[in-house]
Structure 1
């Protein structure tokens, strides 16, 4: 196994990059919450809701990849592209929470 590039390791600890990582994760979190609200309002059930979550995660990751990371996600995240596409456990739970909340509010008497 090769030793990590010291310049790349130091760049990951660089404070502006760490703050940028936080902003990227916030965008992914908000995207998951809004997608859950959309799925609940539309009344999606079962796999259709999760398909919407998957499409939202991929489109959000693509936007972040092109706009924020400028095609080099390894510069901003230790996992690179996989870390960018990974929905994360907290984002999935936030999606399900918003989905069930808005589904229950809008479709309570259906």
Structure 2
């Protein structure tokens, strides 16, 4: 006898597995990521980082923020329950956050290190 394996849920069924109040609460994540990129840009500018060390700070800041969000908001549970995009949704810095980082980085670098 052949046993049939359970079929994968259809996209409509998979969308129903996401708990809407959690998704709505986590839409404010862009604000947390935005503030994180602002503070990372300010730190990079004040420290006088240039080129790759500055972008490494941005990457470290993004990963640290993702880890904090995962442990606090998602309570260490499966990301698929809280974020529709899963891990990629959490670690994706976003184009606007990357531009914000560069803008604040250059602003603080110019203010602090203008006479170096």
Task: Trace 1:1-110 onto structure 2 (pairs within 5 A).
Answer: 2=8, 3-4=10-11, 6=13, 8-10=14-16, 12=18, 14=20, 16-71=21-76, 72-110=78-116
- Higher Rg: 2
Distance (whole Å) between structure 2 residues aligned to residue 33 and residue 18 of structure 1: 24
8 Å contact kept, 1:58–1:85: yes
Distance (whole Å) between structure 1 residues aligned to residue 97 and residue 49 of structure 2: 18
Q: CA deviation at 1:10?
A: 3.7
Question: For structure 2, which runs of at least 5 residues remain unmatched after alignment?
Answer: 1-7
8 Å contact kept, 2:18–2:80: no
RMSD: 2.0
Structure 2 length normalisation: TM-score? 0.82
Question: For structure 1, which runs of at least 5 residues remain unmatched after alignment?
Answer: none
- 1 or 2, which has the higher helix percentage? 1
Structure 1 length normalisation: TM-score? 0.86
* Secondary structure of the corresponding residue to residue 11 of structure 2: coil
